[in-house]
Amino acid sequence: MLIAVRDSGIGIGSQPIDELFEAFFTTKAEGMGMGLAISRSIVEAHGGRLWAESNSDRGTTFQFTLPVEGNIVALREPSSNSP
């Protein structure tokens, strides 16, 4: 299964993309730099892979894969009536 999330922010900038996943690396004044490092370790612990790509126009796309066993559950966006 492949999940991709694309944002339209300012993008990654000039730093190497893999640096984003290092513990304590942050571009935010108030950030701890742990979110992507923890996310990658969780995905990898489940046999998947997490990576980022800079978009050609602006922003970044984060993608991850996870192995799927058994039945596949369709993913959908929540409806506006969801609690």
| CA 13, chain centre distance (Å) | 16
- Which long-range contacts link 49-53 to residues 24+ away (Cβ below 8 Å)? 50/21, 51/17, 52/12, 52/17, 52/20, 52/21, 53/17
What is the model's pTM?
0.72
Q: Is the pLDDT of residue 82 over 70?
A: no
48-67 confidence digits (pLDDT tens): 999 999 998 889 999 999 99
Q: What are phi and psi of 40, to 5 degrees?
A: -65, -40
Distance CA 70, CA 25 (A): 37
Mean residue pLDDT across the chain: 84
